[in-house]
């Protein structure tokens, strides 16, 4: 079977970003072993000439202009017609100075609320990461401040949580990343948002659950309603006198012409006789008719009598018109109340 020669093969290779790198793997056996390369994570091998290979066959793996994306573990596999195949793990480390980016450089928060600042960094060797305030004082996890760094390979996620924000917390904060190849930093400004400007964003899932609950309650209520009952009440004008069968209402003989409710439509809509509401059908004495004709002579439609020529009559007419309008409004209101009560 094949056997990998460790002394002639790479083990751990460290190179600066941008340089060329060569990984070697030698093996012996009979027949002569074939060497193939692949990434341990299953990713493709980028050899920077437009070709990405899943597996490459050669004792030497050459990668020009290496980048941080090439960093990781590689497997060289030696095989021939005699099983089993053997492999060797080779680590490639790419060194570069820290870089960082900040998702939100302006963060608004109301006094008394909590706020979280974020900063993402990349560096190898791993960088030293920390936060400072606007006085360049390092912020440690204590009291209302919580500084957390989560690392994943050459990447790091920095988070600074400020609890119960106070007026003195509104300032610019800086996140730093340092290693032996350099350092970098970025700022995040925390500003105050008045509480009255806070907008509540409803939870769509919660609103959907509430609507579903309301629909179920409404459906249940309909199921418990007595069947066959008509819950709609219609007003009807009775035949005959109003107030009793003897033709009297309150000790006064009923006059059908005094009825303001003319009819009720099949839809239950009450119709009023406007002329009766306005008193147009009331019988007047000849003297009253003559006086009215005299007062209204020369009037245009929609106008009141001249106050200069007939001051007392004009005022009386205005009062009558106002009373008629009030009467119509009261009748409509009473009708609505009766319908609602039924």
So what's the pLDDT on residue 277? 46
So what's the pLDDT on residue 215? 84
Q: Which two tokens stand for residue 67?
A: 């980048």
Domains delineated in the chain: 3-96 (2.60.40.10), 102-197 (2.60.40.10), 248-341 (no CATH)
Q: Are the beta carbons of 139 and 132 closer than 8 angstroms?
A: yes
Mean pLDDT by 10 residues, the chain (342 residues): 92 95 93 91 78 71 92 94 92 97 96 97 97 95 94 95 97 98 97 76 77 82 62 44 42 48 47 48 49 44 42 54 71 66 58
So what's the pLDDT on residue 170? 98
So what's the pLDDT on residue 225? 60
Burial of 70 per CB tally in 10 Å (0-12, 13-18, 19+): buried
Residues 342 and 233: their CA atoms lie apart, in Å, by 6
So what's the pLDDT on residue 306? 42
Burial of 226 per CB tally in 10 Å (0-12, 13-18, 19+): exposed
Q: Please, which residues bridge with residue 161 across strands?
A: 116, 146
Q: HSE, CB side, 13 Å, CA atoms: give it for residue 74.
A: 32
Q: Are the beta carbons of 317 and 293 closer than 8 angstroms?
A: no
197: Cβ–Cβ under 8 A, 6 or more apart, which residues? none
């Amino acid at each position: 079977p094949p056997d990998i020669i460790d002394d002639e093969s790479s083990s751990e290779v460290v190179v600066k970003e941008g340089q060329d790198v060569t990984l070697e793997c030698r093996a012996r056996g009979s027949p002569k072993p074939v060497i193939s390369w692949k990434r341990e994570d299953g990713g493709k091998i980028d050899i920077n000439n437009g070709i990405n290979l899943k597996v490459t066959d050669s004792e030497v793996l050459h990668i020009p202009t290496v980048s941080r994306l090439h960093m990781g573990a590689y497997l060289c596999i030696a095989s021939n017609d005699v099983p089993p195949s053997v492999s060797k793990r080779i680590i490639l480390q790419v060194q570069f100075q820290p870089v960082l980016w900040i998702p939100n450089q302006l963060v608004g928060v109301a006094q008394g609320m909590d706020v979280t600042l974020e900063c993402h960094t990349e560096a190898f060797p791993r960088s030293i990461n920390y936060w400072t305030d606007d006085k360049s004082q390092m912020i440690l996890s204590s009291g209302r401040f919580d500084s957390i760094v989560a690392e994943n390979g050459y990447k790091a996620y920095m988070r600074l949580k400020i609890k119960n924000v106070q007026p003195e917390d509104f300032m610019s904060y800086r996140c730093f990343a340092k290693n032996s190849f350099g350092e970098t930093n970025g700022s995040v400004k925390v500003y105050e948002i008045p509480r009255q400007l806070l907008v509540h964003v409803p939870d769509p899932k919660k609103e959907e659950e509430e609507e579903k609950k309301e629909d179920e309650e409404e459906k249940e209520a309909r199921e418990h309603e007595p069947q066959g009952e008509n819950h709609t009440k219609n007003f009807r004008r009775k035949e005959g006198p109003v107030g009793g069968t003897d033709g009297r209402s309150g000790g006064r003989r009923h006059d059908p012409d005094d009825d303001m409710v003319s009819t009720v439509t099949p839809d239950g809509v009450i119709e009023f006789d406007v002329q009766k509401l306005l008193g147009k059908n009331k019988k007047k004495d000849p003297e009253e008719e003559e006086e009215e004709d005299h007062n209204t002579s020369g009037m245009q439609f929609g106008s009141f009598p001249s106050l200069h020529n007939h001051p007392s009559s004009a005022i009386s007419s205005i009062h009558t018109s106002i009373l008629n309008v009030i009467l119509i409004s009261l009748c409509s209101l009473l009708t609505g109340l009766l319908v609602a009560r039924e």
